[in-house]
Amino acid sequence: MKSSLTVTFSSALLLAFCASSSALAPAKNVTATAPSPLTCGDPSDAVPLYFMEIAGQDMYYATGIGFVTTLVGDLAYTFLGIAARVFTTQELSTVPFFHLHNDQTSDNFYTISATDRELALETGWGDAGIAAYIYPSQICGSVPLYGLYQSVDTIHFYTINETTYDAMLAGTGGWADQGIAGYVLDLNPCAAD
């Protein structure tokens, strides 16, 4: 029963985005290519990439609603919403979105770069597996997932919302640009994928 409630809740949440897509800020200056069944993952397989935080300490991204419930219920994380749509298994043209964790700083870092992953592992980060599968370039109707880093509190943050990204860079919070972490599907599952 719990599993069907989880699916129903997730589906209802995504459908709510269809009904209220005006709340979503479109990415600026982004040109997406049309999906092709020969090169693209099946957008109906995409799932929400949830994000949570412990204020001033950590941001965490996960696809499993059960794990999200544990983080929020048992570990004092605050649920912030859905960052994007991603794949939980490798689809056409997708690559692993590696998850690394630093126990000393309580920071979580995500990357599609095998080189960055190896460098992080060599400098004390722990391998937390593959968070999801995403596109390495802007294909298949994907949008950029921007990465930022705040060194004072050692926090990595990821967003598809360019307005949020620009505001964080321009603000006084000390956020530094880490470029585009990869390409994901827009929050709106009703958009032409």
Which amino acid is located at 33 in the chain?
T
Report the relative pairing of strands 107-111 and 78-86 from DSSP bridges. unpaired
Rounded CA-CA distance 38/92 in Å is 8
- Write down the pLDDT at residue 97: 98
- Write down the pLDDT at residue 31: 53
Cα–Cα–Cα angle for 76, 82, 84, nearest 5°?
Answer: 135
Q: Is 147 exposed, middle or buried (0-12, 13-18, 19+ CB in 10 A)?
A: buried
Q: Is 106 exposed, middle or buried (0-12, 13-18, 19+ CB in 10 A)?
A: middle
Residue 23 predicted with pLDDT over 80: no
User: What whole-number percentage of the chain has pLDDT above 70?
Assistant: 78
List all residues 6 or more positions away from 16 whose beta carbon is below 8 Å from its beta carbon: none
Grade residue 192 by pLDDT with cuts at 50, 70 and 90: very low
- Write down the pLDDT at residue 99: 97
- Write down the pLDDT at residue 37: 60
Q: What does the pLDDT look like over 47-80, one tens digit per residue?
A: 999 999 987 788 999 999 888 988 898 888 899 9
CB-CB contact of 112 with 74 (8 Å): no
End-to-end CA distance of the chain: 31
Name the residue with higher pLDDT: 128 or 25: 128
- Write down the pLDDT at residue 76: 82
Residue 21 predicted with pLDDT over 80: no
Please give the helix or strand (H or E) that residue 66 lies within, else none: helix 65-74
Rounded CA-CA distance 66/60 in Å is 14
Residue 104 predicted with pLDDT over 70: yes
Residue bearing tokens 């950590």: 58
User: What whole-number percentage of the chain has pLDDT above 90?
Assistant: 61
- Write down the pLDDT at residue 170: 94
Residue 179 predicted with pLDDT over 60: yes
- Write down the pLDDT at residue 190: 64
Structure tokens at 150: 């705040």
Rounded CA-CA distance 81/128 in Å is 21
